[in-house]
Amino acid sequence: MKPLIVANWKCNPTTLKGAKLLFDSVKKEIKNIKNIEVVLCPPFIYLPILTVHRQVMNIKLGAQDCFWKQQGAFTGEISPLMLKDLGCQYVIIGHSERRALGETDEMINKKIRAALKSKLKPILCIDKISQIKKDLKTEIIIAYEPLFAIGTGKPCSIEKAKKMRTSLIRFKTVLYGGSINSENAKDYIKEAGFQGLLVGGASLEPKEFIQIVKNVSRVC
Ligand code: PEP
């Protein structure tokens, strides 16, 4: 299985021009890196245009959230069906920044089910094991994102991350996320045993993000 590197652009960039620029810079440099699966998750609004511009097999697109209903009277929501129709393959669910806005485990659970129903690959973000439903039988991608490490420049120690990876042994694909940079990226794969990374801040700097992908590619 190829390592998976997911870029969470969060609420950035602020213009379509900026989004295209970021996308094109990444695309240009990573199109020849075949041993890594790169998933870019821009804000919803940029997804249609970036899907059209994709043209590179090893870049996939993902969304940063989705609703739990496929259609209907739900003002402001985006359904998994709509994302799938656009060519999205992945969707981040339960990011800590969404949980901080009031998203509960129950809502997250419904979103995961809806995403799976539409054949999207959900990436469930957790910072503790209790956030995973005990009866979860379906194989999904988990992203371990310790709260203290998100956007702080203070990554989790390799030892602690490795322990968490061991606790999540029943999942085949577990990503690490939290203050990843080009220096530390490969250690979470090589030493802590993760199958990929969820990159926030560093994914907005094309040079740094490309270097993360290159450094992981070298050790795989
Ligand atoms: C994230 O938002 O999922 C994240 C890991 O952010 P950062 O890389 O900036 O810590």
Helix (H, G, I), strand (E, B) or coil at 78: coil
pLDDT surpasses 70 at 81: yes
pLDDT in tens, 152-206: 999 999 999 999 999 999 999 999 999 999 999 999 999 999 999 999 999 999 9
Give the nearest ligand 1 atom to 125 CA: 3
At 5-58, the pLDDT tens digits run 999 999 999 999 999 999 999 999 998 999 999 999 999 999 999 987 666 777
Claim: this prediction has a pTM higher than 0.95: yes
pLDDT > 90? residue 134: no
Cα–Cα distance between 99 and 43 in angstroms, integer? Answer: 17
Residue 178 CB less than 6 A away from ligand 1: yes
Average pLDDT, the chain: 95
Nearest-CA residue for atom 2 of ligand 1: 200
Span 106-116, pLDDT tens digits: 999 999 999 99
Ligand 1 pocket residue status of 127, Cβ below 6 Å: no
Q: Looking at the chain, how many residues does it have?
A: 220
Residue 136 has pLDDT above 90, yes or no: no
150 lines ligand 1 (CB under 6 A): yes
199, 182 in Cβ contact below 8 A? no
- Verify whether residue 53 is a known catalytic residue: no
Q: Given the structure tokens 């810079």, which residue do they identify? A: 25
Cβ burial, residue 119 (10 Å; 0-12/13-18/19+): exposed
- Does residue 199 have its Cβ closer than 6 Å to ligand 1? yes
Residue among 145, 183, 205, 208 flagged as catalytic? 145
**95 part of the active site:** yes
Q: Is the peptide bond before 13 cis (omega within 30 degrees of 0)?
A: yes
Residue 125 and residue 92 in contact, taking contact as beta carbons nearer than 8 Å: yes
Whether residue 115 contacts residue 93, with contact meaning beta carbons closer than 8 Å, is answered with yes
Contacts of 128 (CB under 8 A, 6+ apart): none
Helices (H), 119-184: 158-167
User: 37 CA distance to ligand 1 centroid (A)?
Assistant: 18
Measure the CA–CA gap between 51 and 210, rounded to whole angstroms: 20
Residue with the smallest CA separation from ligand 1 atom 8 is 200
Distance CA 42, CA 18 (A): 11
Q: Does residue 146 line the site of ligand 1, with CB under 6 A?
A: no
> What pLDDT, on the 0 to 100 scale, is given for residue 51?
84
pLDDT tier at 135, thresholds 50, 70, 90: low
User: Which residue of the set 53, 95, 159, 183 is catalytic?
Assistant: 95
79 vs 1, residue with greater confidence = 79
pLDDT score at 66: 98
